[in-house]
Amino acid sequence: MNFSFKRYKTVKKYYLYYIQEGVFGLQIIKAIFISILLNLLFGSLFYLVESNYQDDLTLTDSIWWAMVTMTTVGYGDFAPVTFIGRFIISYLCMILGIGIIGYLVGFIAEHILQIISKTKRGLMKILDEDHIIICNFPGENKVNEIINELRAFSDHKNTIFVIVDDQLEQLPDSLQKKHILFVKGTPSDEDVLLQANILRSIGVIILAGKGERQNSDERSFTIGSIVEIMENKYQTPIKSVVEVVSRKNFKLMEQSNVDGMISDDGITGRLLIQEFLNPGIYKVIQQLISNSLGSQFYIVDTNLVDYRFVDIQIEIIKHPSNLQAIGLINQGRIILNPPKDQHIVKGDQLILLADQPQDFNIIEQELINNKS
């Protein structure tokens, strides 16, 4: 079932590529149609002339002979024995067939090269779905690091990534080999984001650009605002996370209603102090924020309203899953290691340290069943 669905999506994708190419794609379809028509025509003529002299000859054999002759394969399993079959039908079949097949092969090759060239230069509309869009291109190393980190997470192992940038002229070869796609254009332009198929994407990561610190955050704010406007306009949820250069711009960025913000402004200094006070703490933090090693932090919704946080922790400890509850988010406040009598209220989210956050769903359902 999954294989058939994937095959259908692949066929649909290439069909849409032909539609996207307009007249050029239509010409290929016409050339293929003419080739098939000639194949059937010469096959039928060959059968009408030769069937009276070759008792075992069928219409299927004749069509096969026409294809073999047109493509110059020449197996020799069927051959004309009459004058008309040899010097009229066969001659015309070879001359016209070789011409049209050669034209078709060259035309398709040219078409494929044009698609590859346009794809490299970011001129093609993205037809893939469930992809992640990366706005701005601050550098190859940084983008590689982000993509590698995301693909280390099992859910995004085969996810397609699309870079949207107006300064990049052509996608680097190292990214092309990783099946990264590219759209040339300003990320704050709605048409460019639609070209990146944002409405069928998983979400958008807005990276800081190469400009001045303040200008970079202003640009990111504009992109985040456009994404939010499109989300409301098309009634389609679009997850968005933005990299903020300066922490003082967090309040500005909040006005764009992006789903998440991060900034390395001042983090290095604070990590340095933590490492000085507790040598080795940097390696611990490094593992926690990496998808390639150990467990990670997850924020999950919960239906365990009125439960004490400590009772949830006890139930988690009893369960064989590799999971810990280390805090919660209450009305926007992050509470790590909350008091033992802290009760869960509606809208709270739990902060988990886990290998697989889905394991908590099983524990939650068990708690609800036991209560009922």
Token readout for 173 is 């070869």
Token readout for 366 is 């068990």
For range 137-155, the mean pLDDT: 88
pLDDT confidence of residue 4: 56
Q: CA-CA distance, 151 to 291, in Å (whole number)?
A: 8
User: Which residue did the predictor score with more confidence, 89 or 102?
Assistant: 89
For range 109-134, the mean pLDDT: 84
Token readout for 30 is 């016409």
* CA-wise closest residue to 308 among 367, 365, 352: 367
- Residues 326-368: pLDDT tens digits? 999 998 899 999 998 899 999 999 999 988 888 899 989 888 8
DSSP letter assigned to residue 283: H
Walk across the sheet containing 132-135 and list its strands. 180-184, 161-165, 132-135, 203-206, 239-243, 260-262
Can you tell me whether residue 260 is helix, strand or coil?
strand
> Which of 116-130, 139-153, 204-218 shows the highest mean pLDDT?
139-153
Mean per-residue pLDDT over the chain, rounded? 85
Residue 12 confidence class, pLDDT cut points 50, 70, 90 = low
Residue 286 confidence class, pLDDT cut points 50, 70, 90 = confident
Is residue 245 a contact partner of residue 208, using CB atoms and an 8 Å limit? yes
The DSSP line for 50-66 is HTTT-TT--HHHHHHHH
User: Which residue did the predictor score with more confidence, 130 or 179?
Assistant: 130
pLDDT confidence of residue 161: 95
Q: How distant is the alpha carbon of residue 24 from its chain centre?
A: 26
User: Residue 74 half-sphere exposure, CB side, CA atoms within 13 Å?
Assistant: 4
Q: Which of 1-10, 221-230, 287-296 has the lowest mean pLDDT?
A: 1-10
CB neighbour list of residue 224: distance below 8 Å, 6 or more residues apart? 206, 240, 242, 253, 256, 257, 258
64 pLDDT higher than 90: yes
Is residue 264 a contact partner of residue 293, using CB atoms and an 8 Å limit? no
pTM higher than the cut 0.75: no
User: Which residue did the predictor score with more confidence, 333 or 2?
Assistant: 333
18 pLDDT higher than 80: no
Q: 91 to each of 66, 74, 88, 203, 330, how far by Cα in Å?
A: 11, 14, 5, 59, 83
183 pLDDT higher than 70: yes
pLDDT confidence of residue 16: 56
CB neighbour list of residue 31: distance below 8 Å, 6 or more residues apart? 100, 103, 104, 107
pLDDT confidence of residue 215: 81
Pairing of strands 333-336, 323-330: antiparallel
The length of the chain is 372
For 49-61, letters b (16+ CB in 10 Å) and e give: bbeeebeebeeeb
Residue 246 confidence class, pLDDT cut points 50, 70, 90 = confident
Q: CA-CA distance, 335 to 299, in Å (whole number)?
A: 12
pLDDT confidence of residue 171: 86
CB neighbour list of residue 87: distance below 8 Å, 6 or more residues apart? none
Q: CA-CA distance, 45 to 67, in Å (whole number)?
A: 13
Residue position matching structure tokens 């090269």: 113
Which domains, from first to last, does the chain contain? Answer: 2-120 (1.10.287.70), 132-263 (3.40.50.720), 295-371 (3.30.70.1450)
pLDDT confidence of residue 1: 45
CB neighbour list of residue 274: distance below 8 Å, 6 or more residues apart? 281, 282, 285
> If DSSP states are collapsed to H, E and C, what string results for 74-136?
CCCCCCCCCHHHHHHHHHHHHHHHHHHHHHHHHHHHHHHHHHHHHHHCCCCCCCCCCCEEEEC
Residue position matching structure tokens 């075992």: 56
Residue position matching structure tokens 């092309």: 176
For range 189-215, the mean pLDDT: 87
- Residues 328-337: pLDDT tens digits? 999 889 999 9
